[in-house]
Amino acid sequence: MPQGGVDEGEELEQAALRELLEEVGTDEAEVVAQNKEWIYYNLPEEVIPICWNGRYSGQKQRWFLMKFCGKDKDININYTDHPEFKEWRWQNVDDLVASAIPFKKEVYKKVIEEFSSIIKGSIYDS
């Protein structure tokens, strides 16, 4: 699940679409929904020195549910000189939490719960 920062002067939705392009190499998506409140998480102590050069101990995030409007060939995780992902795959929403890094599992649960009324019974629920 692509994630990233917001540049100065950038709107949240604009940042989400930019991060999608930078991390997944596609702009073939449209925003369906945004979560209502900031979600916070802390990094485990042993990870703090490794992530973000030790400058931060956690994050606050806003999440966007997007509909992919392209084809698989429109995804290019090597879009930038410094790819953030080694591989990609489509995954059932019910399996996302299990595959998440442990300190982000609660974040993923909250995001999925908030978007569940949109996801259930839609094309995303397969």
CATH code: domain of residue 61: 3.90.79.10
Residue 5 inside a domain? The answer is no
Domain containing 64 equals 12-119
Residue 7 inside a domain? The answer is no
- pLDDT-derived band at 125 (thresholds 50, 70, 90) equals low
pLDDT digits (tens, 9 = 90+) for 77-118: 999 999 999 999 999 888 999 999 999 999 999 999 999 999
Q: How many folded domains does the chain comprise?
A: 1
Q: Which residues of 20-47 are buried (b: 16+ CB within 10 A; e: fewer)?
A: bbebbbbebbeeeeebeeebeeebeeee
Residue 43 inside a domain? The answer is yes
pTM: 0.86
